[in-house]
Amino acid sequence: MSKHVVAAVSDLPAGSRRQVTIKGRPIVVFNLSGEFFALVNRCPHQGAGLCEGEITGLVTSDRPGEFHVSREGEIIRCPWHGWEFDIRTGQSWCDPSRIRIRPYPVEVAPGARLVQGPYVAETVPVRIEEDYVVLEV
Amino acid sequence: MSATTLPRTEAAAETRLRIVDCDVHPAMRSAAELDRWLPPRWQQHRRDYGLRLRQPFTSTYPYPKSAPALSRRDAWPPGGGPPGSDLDFMRQQHLDFHDIEYGMLQPLSVRGMDERVPGFAEAVSCAVNEWQHDDWTAKDKRLKGTIAVPGEDAQAAVKEIERWAGHPDFVQISMVTRALEPLGRSRYWPIYEAAAHFGLPIGLHTLGTSGHSVAGGGWPSYYYEEHQAVAMSLAAMTASFILEGVPERFPDLKLVIIEGGFGWVPSLGWRMDSHWTALRSEVPHLRRKPSEYLQANFWFTTQPVEEPENPEHLRKLIDWIGWDRLLFATDYPHWDSDDPRYAFKCQMSEAEKRAIFAGNAKAVYRL
Amino acid sequence: MSAETPGAIDCDLHPALPGCMALLPYLDGHWREEIVSRGLDDLDLALWPRNAPLTARQDWRPAQGLAGGSVDLVRAQALDPFGSSIGILNTLFGAPALHNVDMAAALCRATNDWVAREWLDRDARLRAGILVPMESPELAVQEIERRAADRRFVQVLLLGAAETLLGRRVNWPIYEAAEKHGLPVALQVTSATRVAPTANGWPTYLIEDHVNFAQTFQSQLLSMISEGVFSRYPGLKLVLLNAGIGWVPSFLWRGTKEWRALRREVPWVDRDPAAIFRDHVRISIQPIDAPPDPADLAALLEMVGSDEMLLFATDWPHWRFEGTDALPPGLPERLRPRVLRENALATYPRLKESLP
Q: What is the pLDDT of residues A55-95, one digit of tens each?
A: 999 999 999 999 999 999 999 999 999 999 999 999 999 98
**Measured between beta carbons, which residues in chain A are less than 8 angstroms from residue C232?**
63-64
Nearest CB to C216 within list B216, B244, B317? B216
Question: How much is the pTM?
Answer: 0.95
Are C220 and B307 inside 8 Å of each other by CB? no
Residue A113, pLDDT score = 54
203-242 in chain C: CB under 8 A from chain B: 203-208, 210-216, 218-220, 222-223, 226-227
Class of CATH domain A3-136? mainly beta
Residues B252-269 pLDDT 10s: 999 999 999 999 999 999
Give the span between the Cα atoms of C119 and C114, in whole angstroms. Answer: 8
- CA nearest C227 in B: which residue? B221
Domains and CATH numbers, chain B: 16-365 (3.20.20.140)
Are B215 and C218 inside 8 Å of each other by CB? yes
C169 touches chain A (CB under 8 A): yes
Are C232 and A64 inside 8 Å of each other by CB? yes
Residue C143, pLDDT score = 98
pLDDT band at residue C309, thresholds of 50, 70 and 90? very high
Most confident among A8-17, A117-126, B115-124 (mean pLDDT) = B115-124
**Measured between beta carbons, which residues in chain B are less than 8 angstroms from residue A47?**
6, 339, 341-342
- Burial class of B285 by CB neighbour count within 10 A (0 to 12, 13 to 18, 19+): exposed
Ranges of chain B whose pLDDT falls below 50: 1-4, 8, 10-14
Residues A93-117 pLDDT 10s: 998 888 999 999 898 887 655 544 4
Residue A111, pLDDT score = 64
Are B72 and A79 inside 8 Å of each other by CB? yes
Residue A4, pLDDT score = 87
Residue C71, pLDDT score = 98
**Subunits in contact with chain C (3 or more CB pairs closer than 8 Å):** A, B
Q: What is the ipTM of this complex?
A: 0.97
Are C205 and B317 inside 8 Å of each other by CB? no
> At CB < 8 Å, which residues of chain A contact B?
40, 42-49, 52-54, 79-82, 98-102
Q: Which of B214, B89, B361, B134 is nearest to C196 (CA)?
A: B214
Residue C23, pLDDT score = 98
C231 touches chain A (CB under 8 A): yes
Class of CATH domain C9-354? alpha beta
The residue of A25, A45, A46, A92 whose CB has the most chain B CBs within 10 angstroms, and thus the best one to mutate to test that interface, is A46
- CA nearest C225 in A: which residue? A64
Residue A121, pLDDT score = 27
Domain boundaries, chain A: 3-136
Domain boundaries, chain C: 9-354
Question: Percentage of chain B with pLDDT > 70?
Answer: 96
Give chain A's mean pLDDT.
85
Query: With 70 as the cut, is the pLDDT of residue C1 above it?
Result: no
Query: With 70 as the cut, is the pLDDT of residue C318 above it?
Result: yes
A82 touches chain C (CB under 8 A): yes
A60 touches chain C (CB under 8 A): yes
